[in-house]
Chains A and B, each alone.
Chain A
Amino acid sequence: MTTLTTTSVPASSPSTPSTSSYADRPAPPPIPFARLLKVEMRKMFDTRSGLWLMASVAILSVLASAAVVLWAPEEEVTYGSFAGAVGIPMAIILPVIAILSVTSEWSQRTGLTTFTLVPHRGRVLAAKTVNAVVVAVVGMAVAAVVGALGNLVGSALNGTDVVWDISVSDFAAIVLANVLGVLIGFMLGVVLRSSPAALVGYLVYVYVLTGLTFTLAAAQEWFADLQPWVDFNYTQGALFEGWSNTGEYWAQLGVTSLLWLVLPLAVGSWRMLRSEVK
């Protein structure tokens, strides 16, 4: 209970601005999501390693295109060859960028600052996810342009007609495949929260696991039948063959993404939101 009493205020009551400058300040407006997107994008490329990863998207695209120009037989100087050659380094670099954007918060311990400035970790994670997809799409666009230039240069050098043998839908399928690859890397980063573990995990997933399931499918008929429904490498890899028009394929891609991407990402995110940041 509060009782109000009238007290006589001394006439010469001195104002004390020095002790009231922090008192009764209004709370600042909340941090908009667009700001988080901008900051997280900046953090992807403002370190030495980030800068080199970004540069290597362009550098390796050029090198891969140059390799096709120099060594591919004349009849194979088509856009398909360039796209394939350029796509190989992209399938490694883009997921690595996505992985480090998450794991550096733990491996470099920047999470201590990040999550004190933005206590809602889910928003940070969402911004990182959006940025990983944006980087994947932009990276593929850069690769596509470099590959197209390579195709023009290669055909001109050979004196052959320029062959554009990739349709827009095929290209869309390749971009989707790369976005899914990047999200797999991102998921491993979220689940493992350690740069070396997630990088090794990604390589094991892409190279070792693909070899194992390929061998298993070749040896065991039951697995060969089951594979399109359980093996994400298999369904994701099929996108590189072009855009599929069968509903069954998209159902398989959906089921395998749920299994390999959505569920682990959900569990990893849930744990990340509750973990201790040290």
Chain B
Amino acid sequence: MIELLELTKRYGEHLAVDHVSFTALPGRVTGFLGPNGAGKSTSLRILAGLTPATTGTATVLGRRYADLPDPGREIGVLLDASAQHAGRTGREVLRVAQETMGLPRARVEEMLHLVSLTDDEAKRRVRDYSLGMRQRLGLATALLGDPAVLVLDEPANGLDPAGIRWMRDLLRGHAERGGTVLLSSHLLHEIEVIADDIVVIGQGRVVAQGTKEELLHDDRTLVRAAEVGALAAALQQAGWTVERVDPGDPAAGLRTDASLAVTGQVALEARLPLLELRAADGAGLEEMFLQLTADTQREAA
């Protein structure tokens, strides 16, 4: 289990992480989603004790990272697959980690096999590794101590589609064995396919969190009509709440908490022809994420 509580990191005037709180539960994959520069990596570095927090706390299995007696055996961390000594062989990178954790030497070969690095590749120096191979090596290092908790920052980077699929299965298996998995991504789809729980972060703040079903599920109905104003009035008169999907664009339609059948009925009684009538599922999260990404890009511009 991982718990972040009111975690804040300030660089001068800039709040990189702004009172971030969430919990990653055992047996579940938690996706940490946000545009580039939203504060994901900084939060994860604080969690791993690499960056001191300004205020707030982060705990792993109920303890501060620094209080873990042999951290590699309780939490596997992969923050940047490129952060390896270019002059070390892949196998030697694992040997160093294996000796640090006091594990049997056979564990190194097991991990090389698990991440599909061949004997020939393991003998090569990391300088000659592709990003995908470094990602596999980093994952092998993280898994070496058979930790209950896994924390991975953008683990899909550099992997080919088959590699991404393999990694998803691996993380899913880890969660199914009761492990905790926290992984970050700047891609909504990436998180949607693997995560059970989702935490969305933008400009250092958590903007949404919940189970995937909660976040993607939208009970509301999306309806478009030529006379949007009249339809909104009719729905409100019938006692339903109504909001414009895009206040600046009537053609984008309305979202209402009336069901599909009720919305159709109201429109019929008001004699208003409809252009579209469907469930609003998933639309909310995607719109919010696009909005966040757009805001971040505007700030950077």
Chain A residues within 8 Å of B, Cβ to Cβ: 18-23, 25, 27-31, 35-36, 38-39, 42-43, 46-50, 104, 108-113, 115-120, 274, 276-278
> Are B26 and A30 interface neighbours, CB within 8 A?
no
Q: In the complex, given contacts A43-B96, A117-B101, what are 4 additional A-B residue pairs having Cβ atoms less than 8 angstroms apart?
A: A23-B178, A28-B69, A35-B102, A110-B85
- Distance in angstroms between the alpha carbons of A254 and B6 in the assembled complex: 48
- Tell which of B50, B66, B86, B180 touches A276, judged by Cβ atoms closer than 8 Å: B50
- Distance in angstroms between the alpha carbons of A38 and B178 in the assembled complex: 34
Segment among B73-81, B198-206, B240-248 that sits at the interface with chain A: B73-81
> Are B70 and A278 interface neighbours, CB within 8 A?
no
- Tell which of B69, B99, B101 touches A38, judged by Cβ atoms closer than 8 Å: B99
Q: A104-B85, A113-B83 are in contact. Are A30 and B176 (CB under 8 A)?
A: no
Q: Which of B105-157 contact A (CB under 8 A)?
A: 125, 141, 148
- Tell which of A22, A25, A50, A120 touches B66, judged by Cβ atoms closer than 8 Å: A120
- Distance in angstroms between the alpha carbons of A246 and B11 in the assembled complex: 53
B52 within 8 A of A: yes
> Are A18 and B50 interface neighbours, CB within 8 A?
no
- Distance in angstroms between the alpha carbons of A69 and B74 in the assembled complex: 58
Q: A31-B102, A115-B50, A117-B97 are in contact. Are A110 and B83 (CB under 8 A)?
A: yes
B51 within 8 A of A: yes
> Are B82 and A23 interface neighbours, CB within 8 A?
no
Q: List 23 A-B contacts (CB under 8 A).
A: A19-B178, A20-B178, A22-B179, A28-B69, A28-B70, A30-B69, A31-B69, A42-B99, A47-B87, A104-B85, A108-B84, A108-B86, A109-B83, A115-B49, A116-B50, A116-B72, A117-B97, A117-B100, A117-B101, A119-B65, A119-B68, A277-B50, A278-B50
CB-nearest residue of chain A to B46: A276
- Distance in angstroms between the alpha carbons of A276 and B52 in the assembled complex: 7
Q: A22-B177, A22-B179, A46-B96 are in contact. Are A119 and B71 (CB under 8 A)?
A: yes
- Distance in angstroms between the alpha carbons of A111 and B125 in the assembled complex: 18
> Are A29 and B70 interface neighbours, CB within 8 A?
yes
Task: Number of B interface residues at 8 Å Cβ cutoff, please give it.
Answer: 44
Chain B residues within 8 Å of A, Cβ to Cβ: 26-27, 45, 48-52, 65-66, 68-74, 77, 79-80, 82-88, 92-93, 95-97, 99-102, 125, 141, 148, 176-180
Contact residues in A for B95 (Cβ distance below 8 Å)? 42, 46
Chain B binding surface, main DSSP class: loop
> Are B71 and A39 interface neighbours, CB within 8 A?
no
Contact residues in A for B178 (Cβ distance below 8 Å)? 18-23
- Distance in angstroms between the alpha carbons of A276 and B9 in the assembled complex: 12
Q: A19-B27, A22-B179, A31-B70 are in contact. Are A109 and B80 (CB under 8 A)?
A: yes
Looking at the assembled complex, report how far the CB atom of A185 sits from the nearest CB atom of chain B, in whole angstroms.
Answer: 19
> Are B88 and A46 interface neighbours, CB within 8 A?
yes
Most buried by B among A21, A50, A117: A117
Contact residues in A for B93 (Cβ distance below 8 Å)? 113
Contact residues in A for B71 (Cβ distance below 8 Å)? 116-119
Looking at the assembled complex, report how far the CB atom of A275 sits from the nearest CB atom of chain B, in whole angstroms.
Answer: 9
> Are A48 and B100 interface neighbours, CB within 8 A?
no
Contact residues in B for A120 (Cβ distance below 8 Å)? 66
Contact residues in A for B180 (Cβ distance below 8 Å)? 22
- Distance in angstroms between the alpha carbons of A30 and B122 in the assembled complex: 29
Q: A28-B73, A28-B74 are in contact. Are A48 and B52 (CB under 8 A)?
A: no
> Are B50 and A39 interface neighbours, CB within 8 A?
no
- Distance in angstroms between the alpha carbons of A276 and B82 in the assembled complex: 17
> Are B102 and A108 interface neighbours, CB within 8 A?
no
> Are A47 and B100 interface neighbours, CB within 8 A?
no
Contact residues in B for A39 (Cβ distance below 8 Å)? 96, 99-100
CB-nearest residue of chain A to B27: A19
Contact residues in A for B26 (Cβ distance below 8 Å)? 22-23
- Distance in angstroms between the alpha carbons of A262 and B100 in the assembled complex: 28
Q: A18-B177, A48-B125, A108-B84 are in contact. Are A276 and B99 (CB under 8 A)?
A: no
Contact residues in B for A46 (Cβ distance below 8 Å)? 88, 92, 95-96
> Are A117 and B68 interface neighbours, CB within 8 A?
no
> Are A118 and B100 interface neighbours, CB within 8 A?
yes
Contact residues in B for A274 (Cβ distance below 8 Å)? 52
Q: A23-B26, A35-B100, A277-B51 are in contact. Are A112 and B70 (CB under 8 A)?
A: no
- Distance in angstroms between the alpha carbons of A120 and B65 in the assembled complex: 10
> Are B176 and A18 interface neighbours, CB within 8 A?
yes
- Distance in angstroms between the alpha carbons of A155 and B51 in the assembled complex: 60
- Distance in angstroms between the alpha carbons of A98 and B95 in the assembled complex: 21
- Distance in angstroms between the alpha carbons of A109 and B50 in the assembled complex: 12
Q: A19-B178, A22-B179, A119-B49 are in contact. Are A113 and B102 (CB under 8 A)?
A: no
